[in-house]
Homo-oligomer: A and B are copies of this chain.
Amino acid sequence: MNDKPLILVTNDDGITAPGIRELISIMNEIGDVIVVAPDSPQSGMGHAITVNSTLFCNPVNVDDGPQLEYSCSGTPADCVKMAVSEILNKKPDLCVSGINHGSNSSINVIYSGTMSAAVEAGIEGVPAIGFSLLDYNWDADFRPSREFVKKITLSVLENKLPEGVVLNVNIPKAKKEAIKGIKICRQAHGIWKEDFDKRTNPLGKDYYWLSGKFVNLDHGEDTDIWALENDYISVVPVQFDLTAHHYMHKLNNWGL
């Protein structure tokens, strides 16, 4: 009898990204691993799903690890749907997404393909964690993350997560000995100040690149941004009941 947990691994940077390769190698130490991940980068895809075009999904071998892998033409959320209802045909014991190259703290959770995969798993009743490292470089050093990713994963398998809650884990870019520990946090109130870069193409037509600067408007010491700035790993429990329950009473008084 095999009592190793079945772990689904996905991401938004694409199946060959160093971050997911690291995550797969960590998960191989914990359970039986199946990878269903996008065949190309899907950063900023939020919770997009593919409703108006076709999806391709094929078995691949990316390295010589024991995991089974599928490369999928869709978004991170598509990958989770495809894994659960088509490839596995059952719920895995856990879904981990990442390790993302770059932060998904604060409001970035909304735009994040990494976190949308974890949320999609949560919606389907699968315990889920999104992992991100605050380093956008393709050759980011994921080694300091290993021990913490493993610890958090084992803790989720042991403690279980309640229905409707997944974890958003962000890891500071720091040497292992500089990381002070793990902090449970709330999502900091921050926004992106956009600055569209307007250019003209060779045919004389204007076009834009979306760029911007993240602005933290929230200096609470219980936030993910504070934790990360102070060399802690941040863990935010994330829900997908978006109801602003605190405002329902007031809204009832509007007399609509």
Which A positions have Cβ atoms within 8 angstroms of B? Answer: 41, 43-52, 54-57, 74-75, 77-78, 81-82, 84-86, 107, 109-111, 116, 119, 123-125, 151-152, 155, 159, 162, 164-165, 168, 182, 184, 186-187, 189, 191, 193-196, 198, 205-210, 235-245, 247-248, 250-252, 254-256
Knowing A123-B110, A187-B243, A256-B235, the reply to whether A43 touches B47 (Cβ < 8 A) is no
CA distance A46 to B120 in the complex (A): 12
Q: Are A86 and B208 in contact (CB under 8 A)?
A: yes
Residue on B nearest A58 in the bound complex, by CB: B206
| Count of identical protomers in the assembly | 2
CA distance A236 to B245 in the complex (A): 9
Contacts of A248 in B (CB 8 A): 184, 186, 237
Contacts of A236 in B (CB 8 A): 242-243
Smallest CB separation, A157 vs chain B (Å): 12
> Which of B111, B125, B193, B245 has a CB less than 8 Å from the CB of A47?
B111
> Which of B54, B107, B206 has a CB less than 8 Å from the CB of A208?
B54
> Which of B49, B152, B193 has a CB less than 8 Å from the CB of A44?
B49
Contacts of A75 in B (CB 8 A): 48
> Which of B56, B196, B240 has a CB less than 8 Å from the CB of A110?
B240
> Which of B43, B81, B165 has a CB less than 8 Å from the CB of A247?
B165
Smallest CB separation, A5 vs chain B (Å): 17
Pairs of residues from A and B, 4 with the lowest C-beta to C-beta distance, nearest first = A46-B47, A239-B244, A237-B244, A44-B51
> Which of B49, B85, B210 has a CB less than 8 Å from the CB of A81?
B210
Q: Are B164 and A209 in contact (CB under 8 A)?
A: no
